[in-house]
Structure 1
């Protein structure tokens, strides 16, 4: 299967996406990452824009580490820098499949574009899934 036929990889910069919703995420970084993961897993694939069609990998770092994968969302904990981990994922995949990175981080956007990845804004992702960042009230 060549890159044109392989399922695209959508790499989500978890810290950047969670950080784009000012809802107190900093008080529970792991909980915020879990809520984002769950919203990604519950996505309606048919309703996603073409730029977000593919296999999702959520990259978490620091206090958000330890978030397990669920069906439909692979989760990777960056051992150090989340940005460096995302760049490595792009480098490992871009030669054999299309890769899009969801981030607003300018430096990261530049690094992954140089490798051949496309960019999706956190706003575009958040408009396509059911995530407001807040924990469910029970």
Structure 2
């Protein structure tokens, strides 16, 4: 069984006051690069981008990281990706600090962890 980690990128980037709001696309690129080299326990990482952050990474797969551009609100896309992975028989972890999103993800059977869990697995963001 494959392990899939679905990342609420806006939430993870926004969890650290490092000036990300000045350039959302650059902050997204840094997170993407960190996910590529980090030691995240998962066979596939799905990084969901919304709004201005979409300019930081093209949709598609890069090694074990797949970038998904949310057409509107990221939460809907994050839940859809978690549900798709669960239907494939994967174990799913959703990374977010959003309480409503976390509750909805948990209701689908996903394990929900906060941004610090992911950041602890990355060399640097």
In structure 1, runs of 5+ residues without a counterpart are 1-5, 133-138
Q: What is the aligned length? A: 121
CA RMSD of aligned residues (A): 1.3
In structure 2, runs of 5+ residues without a counterpart are none
Residues 50-91 of structure 1, C-alpha deviations (whole Å, 9 max, x = no match): xx3331110010001141242221100100010010011112
Structure 1 residue 35, shift from structure 2 partner: 0.3
Q: Which has the higher strand share?
A: 2
1:32 paired to 2:27: yes
CA–CA separation in structure 1 for the residues paired with 2:38 and 2:83: 26
Which residue number in structure 2 is paired with residue 125 of structure 1?
A: 118
Residue 21 of structure 1 aligns to a residue in which SS? coil
Which residue number in structure 2 is paired with residue 19 of structure 1?
A: 14
CA–CA separation in structure 2 for the residues paired with 1:82 and 1:131: 24
Paired residues of 2:28 and 2:53 also in contact (CA < 8 A): yes
CA–CA separation in structure 2 for the residues paired with 1:73 and 1:93: 14
CA–CA separation in structure 2 for the residues paired with 1:71 and 1:93: 18
Runs of 4+ in 1 over 4 A off after TM superposition: none
TM-score between both structures, scaled by the size of structure 1: 0.82
CA–CA separation in structure 1 for the residues paired with 2:86 and 2:62: 24
Structure 1 residue 124, shift from structure 2 partner: 1.2
Residue 79 of structure 1 aligns to a residue in which SS? coil
Q: Which has the higher helix share?
A: 2
TM-score between both structures, scaled by the size of structure 2: 0.90
